[in-house]
Chain A
């Protein structure tokens, strides 16, 4: 299947100004993303993963290089942050419908859509809860629902499960994988977990220690839908070993 890439990044570098000649965060990054791809950037902390996502969301401009979106217009973006980043003064329902409010959608439709998202991420009964009463996993599911509700062209996930315990995290992989298949989204996710990237992605790009450079571009040819036990197959092990070697 060949489709036109919806996003092309060419020779992207980022240098943060500092007192001694600038902090080189990303170096010569190039890649392409096709519609409905699930791309994972894998890298140690400090390799510029968050910086890369901030650039793609145009929260930050690169020092050099170019980013081209299809049709030359910036796509609608849904972003999930490292911390769930929920507004503590909004209920679960109101947090999820925030993007629709910002678009000026009418209240009734916004609530109906938010309810659909709440069903999708399995949070029925928590519509009126405050964020302070949610567990880490529930909060991240709210954040995912919020990132999906306005039907964005591109979903950006910044270590969305980094703060969760191992068991919850693996459960969230299944959820995300299911949601991704149901919603047919283009996803760019960054993580420092090898298992997470292999379980979820079509393609894993390994970033080096600072300055972040793409060291390996690995196609993940594991069949879908992926079940939990895929992690114990020899092929999964082989891919994991490749990634591990690239990281070191």
Chain B
């Protein structure tokens, strides 16, 4: 008789292992970057080392200038998300509920998808000025479509049997909305929101690069013109963290709100 060793699986240990792997990979990447920038002979102006970027970051934090730009970009992104998501959700719900409305709006909806927002961003900045408003608008537009589509698909996917159930119990329209349609459409809706949140950061930066007074996109322009390459990198990293942060918030919301779903 042969005896197999008993294998004990520790999920938390496996998780910790994966975490280590990730940190290791990041560390190695930074190391490669540092080594390349120091030994390759590439101008600091072209490729500053991570340490140079880090010390520029610390300076910018200490003199406080970084926070103003982060604040402006974050406000544009969040306001754009609020406006875009609100409009897209209301319109998406109405379209999902009414085939007639869908027919009326579909040419515009298709067109709104076909126009690359990035291409009309210069126009929007021209029309609405260098202030935050034009960026909020760009963010809202860029967020609008994925959220709209996912709202429509999510509401249309609600099984008819749930409507039968609610009708047999004499539920009101509002009860059907809050107890069936919203929870049933939520997974698909949040998928759209997750995409929208990262797109929104892109929208804000594009707007700021075209013409702005403040913001991380503006900071990139200012630093570039002043040959302050480490600062350009600082701004780029801030944008990455901003996008990751928003993505993370939505992902956390998904995890919390969609606990009922099959573990993936």
A binding-site residues for B, Cβ under 8 Å: 54, 57-59, 77, 79, 81, 83, 85, 87-90, 98-99, 101-102, 130-132, 150, 156
Q: Which chain B residues (167-201) contact chain A, with CB distance < 8 Å? A: 167-171, 175, 179-180, 183-184, 186
Asked if A57 and B175 make an inter-chain contact with CB atoms under 8 angstroms apart, the answer reads no
Asked if B175 and A88 make an inter-chain contact with CB atoms under 8 angstroms apart, the answer reads no
- Select from chain A the residue with minimum beta-carbon distance to B163: A59
B260: contacting residue among A77, A79, A85, A130, CB under 8 A: A130
Residues of the A chain whose Cβ atoms lie less than 8 Å from the Cβ of B161: 81, 83, 85
**Residues of A contacting B: mostly:** loop
Give CA–CA (A49, B167) in the complex, Å.
Answer: 19
Give CA–CA (A150, B168) in the complex, Å.
Answer: 12
Can you name 6 A-B pairs with beta carbons within 8 Å?
Answer: A59-B167, A81-B164, A89-B260, A102-B166, A131-B260, A132-B261
Known: A88-B260, A88-B261, A132-B262. A101 touches B179 (CB 8 A): yes
Mark each residue of chain B from 241 to 264: 1 if its CB lies under 8 Å from any CB of chain A, else 0: 000000000000000001011100
B binding-site residues for A, Cβ under 8 Å: 161-162, 164-171, 175, 179-180, 183-184, 186, 258, 260-262
**Residues of B contacting A: mostly:** helix
Q: Sort A-B residue pairs by CB-CB distance and give the 3 closest, nearest first.
A: A89-B183, A57-B168, A79-B168
- Select from chain B the residue with minimum beta-carbon distance to A81: B161
Asked if B260 and A54 make an inter-chain contact with CB atoms under 8 angstroms apart, the answer reads no
Residues of the A chain whose Cβ atoms lie less than 8 Å from the Cβ of B260: 88-90, 130-132
B187, chain A: closest CB distance, angstroms:
9
Asked if B164 and A99 make an inter-chain contact with CB atoms under 8 angstroms apart, the answer reads no
Asked if A87 and B180 make an inter-chain contact with CB atoms under 8 angstroms apart, the answer reads yes
A148, chain B: closest CB distance, angstroms:
12
Asked if B169 and A99 make an inter-chain contact with CB atoms under 8 angstroms apart, the answer reads yes
Residues of the A chain whose Cβ atoms lie less than 8 Å from the Cβ of B170: 102
Asked if B164 and A59 make an inter-chain contact with CB atoms under 8 angstroms apart, the answer reads yes
Asked if A79 and B165 make an inter-chain contact with CB atoms under 8 angstroms apart, the answer reads yes
Extra A-B contacts (4), CB below 8 Å, given A77-B168, A85-B164: A59-B168, A81-B165, A101-B179, A132-B260
Give CA–CA (A25, B164) in the complex, Å.
Answer: 19
Residues of the A chain whose Cβ atoms lie less than 8 Å from the Cβ of B261: 88, 132
Give CA–CA (A85, B162) in the complex, Å.
Answer: 7
A22, chain B: closest CB distance, angstroms:
21
Residues of the A chain whose Cβ atoms lie less than 8 Å from the Cβ of B162: 85, 87
B254, chain A: closest CB distance, angstroms:
13
B188, chain A: closest CB distance, angstroms:
13
Give CA–CA (A146, B111) in the complex, Å.
Answer: 47
* Residue with the highest number of chain B CB atoms closer than 10 Å, among A57, A79, A88, A89: A89
Residues of the B chain whose Cβ atoms lie less than 8 Å from the Cβ of A132: 260-262
Give CA–CA (A130, B170) in the complex, Å.
Answer: 25
Residues of the B chain whose Cβ atoms lie less than 8 Å from the Cβ of A87: 162, 179-180, 183-184
